[in-house]
Amino acid sequence: MHDHAPGGGIRDLSNRRLLTIALSITASVMIVQIVGAFLTGSLALLADAAHMFTDAAGLVVALVATAIAARPADDRRTFGYQRAEVLGALANAITLIVLCLWVGVEAVQRLIAPAGAEVQGGPMLVVAAIGLVANAVSMWLLGRAQKRSINVRGAYLEVLGDLVGSVAVIAAAVVIVTTGWTQADAIASLFIAVLIVPRAIGLLREVVVVLTESAPVGVHVAEIREHLREADGVVDVHDVHVWQLTRGAPVFSAHVIVEDAALTDGRAARILGSLQECLADHFDVAHSTFQLEPAGHVEHDTHHA
């Protein structure tokens, strides 16, 4: 017996639109930063431009993954293609970590052996300010959607990294303009890398939770089981499984032992409805599967959860 979640077509369409806008902004600012980096000699701008390039690639991956995820379920993939979002997020997380390592190594080399070229703080400051405004707009656009989609969250974290990077570049530019200390540029680059890594690892950890079909963070199986046991006509609950297809799409299944009379007096449908309502109202689980069993049926099961 099942309760199927409504289709996510509208949500997916909205996510694609937001990701497209964010991609346009990111690509435009990336070009400005590349030009600015070569004109000013700033490693921080070049690192931020490289990050922007990676973000643009990540947003393309996110768009493709979201489009694939919107495809309807079929006999081969009965849950649809929502896991494509998770694979997109995985690619984003790995790319972020690799990028941070590159920026960190380059920044340390600059600190150990400062480049002879002069860093022009004034133009660097202007370009960084443009990036800051653009990233703030992108974050605002993706802010709400990232709470519902792990894929959009990956893109959101990348834009967040860009925004922090823009702030660091602005700070370095101000130091260079006011003091002439050009090594502030390398320090800003290192700062960008250090700030992004924990967020990338956090996203990677969330992806692992989904791919290993672990219970979503904050979901307690014992608590769910107790709620279900309190339903009228329910004797016990076992073989409980909770996982998620992607962020915001939890799935639940369980075997429910009911009073023998409930299966013959017409109460089975009412019990099923109360169980589904319990999950939807208390635990925000829209897709649930229950197997209603008489008390004696549990003897045939080989394990319990």
* Residue pLDDT, tens place only, 263-297: 778 788 888 888 888 888 777 776 788 888 887 66
* CA distance linking residue 4 with residue 21, whole number of Å: 31
- Which tens digit of pLDDT belongs to each residue from 52-105? 776 777 677 667 666 766 677 677 766 667 777 788 778 878 887 888 888 788
Which two tokens mark 278? 């319990």
pLDDT band at residue 116, thresholds of 50, 70 and 90? Answer: low
State the average pLDDT for the chain.
78
Fold of domain 221-300: Alpha-Beta Plaits (3.30.70)
- For the beta sheet containing 287-293, the strands, ordered from the edge strand earlier in sequence to the opposite edge, are 2-3, 287-293, 250-258, 234-244
**For the chain, percent of residues with pLDDT exceeding 90:** 5
User: Comparing 283 with 187, which gets the higher pLDDT?
Assistant: 187
Instruction: In whole angstroms, give the CA distance from residue 96 to residue 139.
Output: 17
Q: 171: buried, middle or exposed (CB in 10 Å: 19+, 13-18, 0-12)? A: middle
Residues of the chain with CATH 3.30.70.1350: 221-300
pLDDT for the residue 302: 46
pLDDT of residue 129: 92
What gap in Å lies between CA 166 and CA 179, rounded to an integer? 20
Question: Rounded to 5 degrees, what are φ and ψ at 22?
Answer: -60, -40
> What pTM, to 2 d.p., does this model score?
0.68
- Long-range CB pairs of 20-26 (<8 Å, 24+ gap) are 20/63, 21/138, 21/141, 22/59, 22/138, 22/141, 22/142, 22/155, 22/159, 23/56, 23/59, 23/60, 23/63, 25/134, 25/137, 25/138, 26/52, 26/55, 26/56, 26/59, 26/134, 26/138, 26/159, 26/162
What is the mean predicted confidence (pLDDT) over 13-40? 82
Of 50 and 236, the structure prediction assigns the larger pLDDT to 236
Helix axes 150-179 and 43-69, enclosed angle (nearest 10):
170
pLDDT > 90? residue 174: yes
Residue range(s) occupied by CATH 1.20.1510.10 in the chain:
2-211
Assign domain 2-211 to a CATH class: mainly alpha
